[in-house]
Amino acid sequence: MIALYDVYSLFEIEPVKAAGPYVYEADGTEYLDFYGGHAVISIGHSHPHYIRRMKDQIDKMVFYSNSVQNSLQSEFCQLLQQASGLDGFDLFFCNSGAEANENALKLASFHNDRTKVLSLKKGFHGRTSAAVNSTDSQKIIAPINKGFEVIYHDIADEEAMYQDVMSGDFCAVIIEAIQGIGGIHEVPDQYLNRIMQACEQTDTAFIADEVQAGYARSGDFFSFQRSGIRPDVISMAKGMGNGFPIGGVLINSAKIPAWKGMLGSTFGGSHLACAAGSAVLEVIIEEDLQTHAAGMGEYLMKQLKVIDRISEVRGRGLMIGLQFDKPVADLRKHMLHEHKVFTGSSSDKHVMRLLPPLNINRRQADHFIRALLASIADINF
Ligand SMILES: Cc1ncc(COP(=O)(O)O)c(C=O)c1O
């Protein structure tokens, strides 16, 4: 017998169909997805343009290796430049967020020949070896991952991070400008600027982990962009493929030039991945989802801020954290089972995370607020 390796805690729900911000069970029960399948669903489930492009591509060709020309990859690069407004970066395709950060850390180390890494407490960078070692969660780091020294700083202690970068001893600083899993904590713009400058002075690589906060979710295309910094490496994944596994690393190639064989991936940038990725970018551009996410985030946060049971509302755009005075597990379960609304958890048990698709409308936002208020009242939370 082969059974599933039992690493996930599962809800007793099986969605079999999805459309826009909704998922459906076989009996037709509808759920509002304010979790975005873990921040993955950027343009809404089963977006018609996305499905059309994927189906067309499947009819033509799904995959060939990175040993031949693939103009779908250059099309994707152009769209990414248009959507993000970034220039002067080269793209390396991979398949997940962890892989993007693993490659980002390798690039940093190839560049300056150093091994020690600086990261933030409450950060999350994925489960592969260098990525997980840079993640402040000792229980998920296996002994084999502990191949280099990592110092995790508190966001509040900018000075300690600054002094470490200025020592010139470190290979990279890896930072989520808005921490996701840690409970939606923003790193101040001034912090990002000071650390970026220190990195430039000491040839330390600045890695912006945009795996969760990127791709228009925060109201900027990448969440660091508001601060005006120019990271050396940017990692991205979740929203890129709207459910198709795509990851990528943007590299300042003037600073870290490529050489043949430096990085590689069998599946990265496949024909089908590019079709999915380009379809997502086309929708983000066409429907101006970046502006929409910013406005819808403001609309939601204004209503959330007056709910007295919520002690703090954090975040930007459609990446919102609700801080409560007690653990939110029961409230989330009640919202799911009684009001049919998915929400996200966080490594802080008192924080509910909202990561809905970027194209939710006011009616759906109001639906969420009603479900939250009703659940708070139902269980006297
Ligand atoms: C900020 C951040 N980085 C990296 C990862 C890892 O991504 P993946 O699960 O695709 O490997 C995640 C996943 O939640 C994330 O939130």
Q: What is the pLDDT along the chain (381 residues), one digit of tens a residue?
A: 999 999 999 999 999 999 999 999 999 999 999 999 999 999 999 999 999 999 999 999 999 999 999 999 999 999 999 999 999 999 999 999 999 999 999 999 999 999 999 999 999 999 999 999 999 999 999 999 999 999 999 999 999 999 999 999 999 999 999 999 999 999 999 999 999 999 999 999 999 999 999 999 999 999 999 999 999 999 999 999 999 999 999 999 999 999 999 999 999 999 999 999 999 999 999 999 999 999 999 999 999 999 999 999 999 999 999 999 999 999 999 999 999 999 999 999 999 999 999 999 999 999 999 999 999 999 999
Q: Is residue 300 part of a domain?
A: no
Q: What does the pLDDT read at residue 253?
A: 96
The structure tokens 């600083």 sit at 173
Spell out the long-range contacts of 186-191 with Cβ–Cβ below 8 A and sequence spacing 24 or more: 186/314, 186/315, 186/316, 187/120, 187/155, 188/158, 189/226, 189/227, 189/228, 190/227, 191/155, 191/158, 191/161
Q: Is residue 183 part of a domain?
A: yes
Ligand 1, residue 38: give the atom nearest the CA.
Answer: 14
Sign of CA dihedral 284, 285, 287, 292: positive
Ligand 1, residue 99: give the atom nearest the CA.
Answer: 11
| CB neighbour list of residue 114: distance below 8 Å, 6 or more residues apart | 108, 169, 170, 171, 204
Q: What are the structure tokens assigned to 87, written together?
A: 């220039």
Q: Is residue 73 part of a domain?
A: yes
Q: Is residue 343 part of a domain?
A: no
Q: Give the closest residue (by CA) to ligand 1 atom 7.
A: 97
DSSP lists the bridge partners of residue 84 as: none
Answer whether 313's CB lies under 8 Å from 343's CB: no
Q: What does the pLDDT read at residue 224?
A: 98
- CATH code: domain of residue 139: 3.40.640.10
Q: Is residue 138 part of a domain?
A: yes
Q: Is the Cβ atom of 185 under 6 angstroms away from ligand 1? A: no
| CB neighbour list of residue 1: distance below 8 Å, 6 or more residues apart | none
Q: How many angstroms separate the alpha carbon of residue 89 from the centre of ligand 1?
A: 21
Ligand 1, residue 126: give the atom nearest the CA.
Answer: 6
Q: What does the pLDDT read at residue 241?
A: 98
Task: Give the dihedral of Cα atoms 221, 227, 231, 235; nearest 10 deg.
Answer: -40
Answer whether 187's CB lies under 8 Å from 177's CB: yes
Q: How many angstroms separate the alpha carbon of residue 378 from the centre of ligand 1?
A: 34
Q: How many angstroms separate the alpha carbon of residue 307 from the centre of ligand 1?
A: 30
Q: Give the closest residue (by CA) to ligand 1 atom 3.
A: 125
Answer whether 96's CB lies under 8 Å from 126's CB: yes
Q: How many angstroms separate the alpha carbon of residue 358 from the centre of ligand 1?
A: 18
- With b for 16 or more beta-carbon neighbours within 10 A and e for fewer, the 190-205 pattern comes to ebbebbbebbeebebb
Ligand 1, residue 213: give the atom nearest the CA.
Answer: 1
Q: Is the Cβ atom of 40 under 6 angstroms away from ligand 1? A: no
Q: Is residue 275 part of a domain?
A: yes
Is the backbone of residue 37 left (phi > 0), alpha (psi -120 to 50) or beta? left
Q: Is residue 156 part of a domain?
A: yes
Q: Is residue 37 part of a domain?
A: no
> Residue 213 sits in which domain range?
48-286
Q: Is the Cβ atom of 270 under 6 angstroms away from ligand 1? A: no
C-alpha–C-alpha distance, residues 272 and 235, integer Å: 20
How many structural domains does the chain have? 1
Q: What are the structure tokens assigned to 217, written together?
A: 């979710």
Q: Is the Cβ atom of 213 under 6 angstroms away from ligand 1? A: no
| CB neighbour list of residue 296: distance below 8 Å, 6 or more residues apart | 317, 318, 358, 360, 361, 362, 365
Q: What is the pLDDT of residues 109-154, one digit of tens each?
A: 999 999 999 999 999 999 999 999 999 999 999 999 999 999 999 9
Q: What does the pLDDT read at residue 102?
A: 98
Q: How many angstroms separate the alpha carbon of residue 21 from the centre of ligand 1?
A: 21
Answer whether 171's CB lies under 8 Å from 207's CB: no
